[in-house]
Amino acid sequence: MELSPKTKIDDLLSGYPFLLEFFLAKSPRYKLLQNPVSRKTIGKVASLAQVASIGGLPIDQLLSEIAAEIRKNTGEEVTAGQGHDDEEAPARRDEVGIRGAAPDDRTTRQEILKGIIMDLHSDEDMEILKQRFHDLVKDIDPSEIAAMEQGLIEEGMPESEIKRLCDVHVEVFRESLASQAALATPPGHPVHSFMLENRAAEEITREMARVLDKAGGLGEEEFFRQYRDELEQLMERLADIDLHYLRKENQLFPLLEGYKISGPSQVMWALHDDIRDAIKTARGELAASREHEAINTFRYVIKSINDMIYKEENILFPMAMETLSDADWQKVGQGESEIGYAWIIPEQGVATEETFNPVFKKSAEGPKSAEGPVFLDLATGQLTPEQVNLILTHLPVEISFVDENDEVRYYSQVRHKIFPRSPGVIGRKVQNCHPPASLDKVQKILDEFKSGKKDAADFWIEKEDRFIYIRYFAVRDDNQTYKGTLEVVQDATALRGLTGQQRLLDWE
């Protein structure tokens, strides 16, 4: 057996399992080797030169001691190469990003980052992990954090687990992220608008925190007597952040998914829903005069929103700027005004929806031949594309169609939408158009429709004093082959209250 600084730790432990105890005795930083996932990931790429650096040990000393341990346990003759002659021992070079790994060795860096996060999930001490991070990595960029989360999801870690410790992930990387240059985007760019909204959100949360700080000197009952109205108004304003999150979910995330970046956006979507739920809870607690609970929930909302702003501006937006092209950003901008903006009017500067949105600039008249408009042959008649579009957009319901490949192909562009939709969803997998918490229901409906076991699914909810009826229908051809799913959404508030009969026209 010949050891060298290039020997991979996984190869070594596979051949000599007893060395695990040897490493654990050498340094607490080798605890990650106990984790099977870390062994499978980091161990495949980490050399003994890198392992020595992690433990703060001279490579020559580590090689010699490993050789002695193998000889003691097996009697096998082992030789150890010299670390200082090996090209892979640049642990003393200041220019490397990972001790023992060249700055462009992104794979190695990713595996070590994932190892740190895996240990976070195993309740490793935060300070030890932060020190390990600083010892191993410098100048990390946001795209690497996004890729790390994506990798963890692909390796089987549930998105809910990554969401649970998302704040801890950011805490580990916070100091490194703080050294990154601030984002600079031109007026009119989607990220510029997102950041303007963030400044507005920060202003509201600062004002809310200022009001809440007065509770300590007044007592909760007296505090709410004096400041209830102001808190209600502030929370009402803050609830508009839903528009900010909807634009991320419907415009930005679909483009990132096209680059196989879905993990970070799925985690963020789940956090969006947590914030939405907390805002709803806070308003309910305030209305019910549950003062103590309301104060705690208000503070949770403030912290959660500010933490999300940090994650957006230090991870999501820089990673998106690095990934998406100018043409992609134009697509992100398509339909933003259909969803709306929180608190701001976007600044003008770059191309806006009116200049680059092909979806809404198409002629509604449809194609024409030399003889006149082209008619579509339907089962019971003929209609022009214009007529089809007008009929679909004048129905008293919203409809969406998902094809047999689970891709969104159409939604009706009605004047007043119950659920915001925008062109970014067209061509997107329907599973990615729903928050993680409801994904299991969506998938179950699709599976049952495809199998032929079910043909319809009904739901109804109350939304802002409205009764919303939501129905899903399996679409099948004449041979009963599944061709997709039709969603029909209706505001049934008025219908719910109908009684008796009305036979006369009431146009007075």
What are the structural domains, with CATH classification, of the chain? 2-138 (no CATH), 190-339 (1.20.120.520), 395-496 (3.30.450.20)
Strands 398-403 and 482-491: antiparallel
Tell me which amino acid residue 359 is. V
Output the DSSP codes for 280-291. HHHHHHHHTT-H
- Cβ-Cβ contacts under 8 Å for 238 (sequence gap 6 or more): 201, 204, 205, 208, 279, 301, 305
pLDDT at 346: 87
Question: What are 376's two structure tokens?
Answer: 């579509």
226 in helix, strand or coil? helix
Residue 377 CB contacts under 8 Å (≥ 6 apart), including other chains: none
What's residue 101's pLDDT? 39
- For 227: left if phi > 0, alpha if psi spans -120 to 50, otherwise beta; the answer is alpha
**Rounded Cα–Cα distance for residues 62 and 22 (Å):** 11
Dihedral sign computed on CA atoms, order 71, 74, 79, 81: negative
Contact of 193 with 294, CB cutoff 8 Å: no
Q: Where are the alpha helices (DSSP H) in 219-316?
A: 220-238, 241-247, 253-257, 263-287, 291-311
Determine the 3-state secondary structure of 326 from DSSP. Answer: helix
* pTM confidence score: 0.63
Question: Cα 265 to chain center, whole Å?
Answer: 2
Instruction: Count how many Cα atoms sit within 13 Å of the Cα of residue 154 in the half-sphere of its side chain.
Output: 13
- What are the distances in angstroms from CA 292 to CA 221, 275, 299, 350? 9, 19, 11, 47
Residue 69: C-alpha distances to residues 65, 77, 79 (Å)? 6, 11, 12
175 close to 126: Cβ distance less than 8 angstroms: no
What is the pLDDT, as a whole number, of residue 370?
A: 58
Per-residue pLDDT at 164: 61
Burial of 72 (0-12, 13-18, 19+ CB in 10 A): exposed
Tell me if residue 276 falls in helix, strand or coil: helix
CA distances from 355 to 36, 331, 333 (A): 53, 11, 10
At residue 98, the 3 state secondary structure works out as strand
Please say whether the beta carbons of 346 and 193 come within 8 A: yes
- Span 421-461, pLDDT tens digits: 888 888 889 988 888 778 889 999 999 999 999 999 999 99
Distance in angstroms (rounded) separating the CA atoms of residues 17 and 208 = 57
What residues contact 92, with CB distance under 8 A and at least 6 apart?
none
Alpha carbons 191 and 183: distance in angstroms, whole number = 9
**Is the CB of residue 455 less than 8 Å from the CB of residue 433?**
no
pLDDT at 89: 36
Contact assessment for residue 490 and residue 480, using Cβ atoms and an 8 Å cutoff? no
pLDDT for 356: 40
Task: Give the tokens for residue 341.
Answer: 């903006």
Determine the pLDDT at residue 82: 60
Please list, in sequence order, all residues whose beta carbon lies within 8 angstroms of the beta carbon of residue 393, skipping any fewer than 6 positions away: 412, 413, 414, 415
Q: How many CA atoms lie within 13 A of 286 on its CB side?
A: 24
pLDDT at 249: 92
Determine the Cα–Cα distance for residues 426 and 155; give it in Å rounded to an integer: 29
Question: Residue 277: which of 431, 492, 471, 435 has the closest Cα?
Answer: 435
The order of strands in the sheet holding 408-411 is: 408-411, 398-403, 482-491, 466-476, 456-463
d(CA 6, CA 1): 13
The two tokens of residue 315 are 């991870």
Number of H helices, E strands in the chain: 25, 11
| Ranges under pLDDT 70 in the chain | 29, 32, 35-45, 81-114, 116-118, 120-121, 123-124, 126, 129-146, 148-149, 152-153, 157-182, 349-372
Length, in residues, of the chain = 508
pLDDT score, position 415? 80
Compute the 3-state secondary structure of the chain and give helix, strand, coil in percent, each to the nearest 5.
60, 10, 30
Distance CA 194, CA 342 (A): 9
Q: Per-residue pLDDT tens for 345-372?
A: 988 765 444 444 333 334 445 555 556 6
Q: Which amino acid, residue 4? A: S
Can you give the pLDDT at residue 140?
A: 61
